[in-house]
Amino acid sequence: MSAFRVFAGIMAFIAAVSLSGCGRGKQNASLALDEARLNVASARSAGAQEHVAGTMRSAEDALAAAEKAFTGGSFEEARVTAAKAARLAAAAQAEAERKAAEKKKKPAKKTASGKKAGPAKKNK
């Protein structure tokens, strides 16, 4: 076997392995984007836009950047940025849920007379 054939065989093998990895890069980026989209949607449902607007905005910006990178074919950048968006959205959701639970726990405010404020009474 000539040296050229050995070299050509090795190069063909390397090319095949490299190309098989390209599909995984796109697939991994796609999965990361799906997770980020779900986390952002869950954070919105938890009221993150109201309770932690800055973190939520950062998550949405990261998701938009990840989608742009994916569309441009930068799959590794898309995967990394989508993972960041997912983490930010999960943090926003957790903080929003914590703040909502805190708000529910607060007792009713007392009036100047020291009595708990209740619903207004209707005059008959």
Rounded CA-CA distance 58/37 in Å is 13
- pTM across the whole model: 0.68
CB–CB of 56/104 below 8 Å? no
Mean per-residue pLDDT over the chain, rounded: 82
Determine the pLDDT at residue 119. Answer: 58
With cut-offs at 50, 70 and 90, classify the pLDDT of residue 67.
Answer: very high
What lies within 8 Å, CB to CB, of 67 at 6+ separation is 33, 78
**Three-state SS at 120:** coil
> Sign (positive/negative) of CA torsion 32, 36, 38, 39?
positive
What does the pLDDT look like over 11-65, one tens digit per residue? Answer: 555 545 454 455 799 999 999 999 999 999 999 999 999 989 999 999 999 999 9
**Three-state SS at 124:** coil
